[in-house]
A = this chain, B = another copy of it.
């Protein structure tokens, strides 16, 4: 259609890149998923797919981190130092900007998802929102006053230190830096390392459900207490375990004990956009680029 904008989005993850083009963030006309290999392969494959879809007006990238998001820095648009082989200092925004000749919006995958949830998803009526994903790792993005929070760089919520409970300190956690930080204890691979199965595969009465719910509830309580965030949208592979979100809600309420002044205005929910929060967020970044 003449005059209609075509937006492109990349949800750049450690194991796969989800690509999409749309005429608006929520009107996706095509999507495609490619495995994350070396930067050379992956970026070229993504660019070719976009080029096959005609003239694109803007691109948004929601990427795994750590990222350089300081727009006053010459490093802006790069992936910073990462243990992922080959990806440290990859100029991902620069590559696509030059190759596709379009403006590029760039943020973390979880900030992009948080913006999408805030704008179109579960957070439509909230003043502030956190988006948390629990999968291969644990990450979170924050939207306050309509803007993604960057601060000194960007949040890394998986790396807080939840309290260990008595009789529950034998597992050392799998985070290569922190050991038993939240991600080290409660991400998908940590659950597998500790109990030999995913949460969904373990019986309903297995202790793992309560242990993981407690850790995730501690993140929720912490967010409520330090940022008074109104809504937490929590998704990712681990949250597919039946009943987990309810357990997290109950555990968070128990931790609070009715104290926090936000009361029932603090809510924990599934992402309204489901697994599409990330890619819709990337298209939102394109729309604002």
Contact = CB atoms under 8 A, between A and B. Distances in A.
Contact of A225 (B157, B255, B256, B260): B157
Contact of A151 (B164, B221, B262): B262
Interface in A214-267: 218-219, 221-230, 255-263, 265-266
A163 interface: yes
A155 B227 contact: yes
Given A161-B255, A257-B178, A260-B159, A150 B228 contact: yes
B151 A227 contact: yes
Given A144-B144, A151-B127, A259 B159 contact: yes
Question: Main SS of chain A's interface residues?
Answer: loop
A47 interface: no
Interface of A: 65-67, 80, 127-128, 140, 142, 144-145, 147, 149-157, 159-164, 177-178, 218-219, 221-230, 255-263, 265-266
A176 to B, nearest CB: 9
A151 B266 CA distance: 9
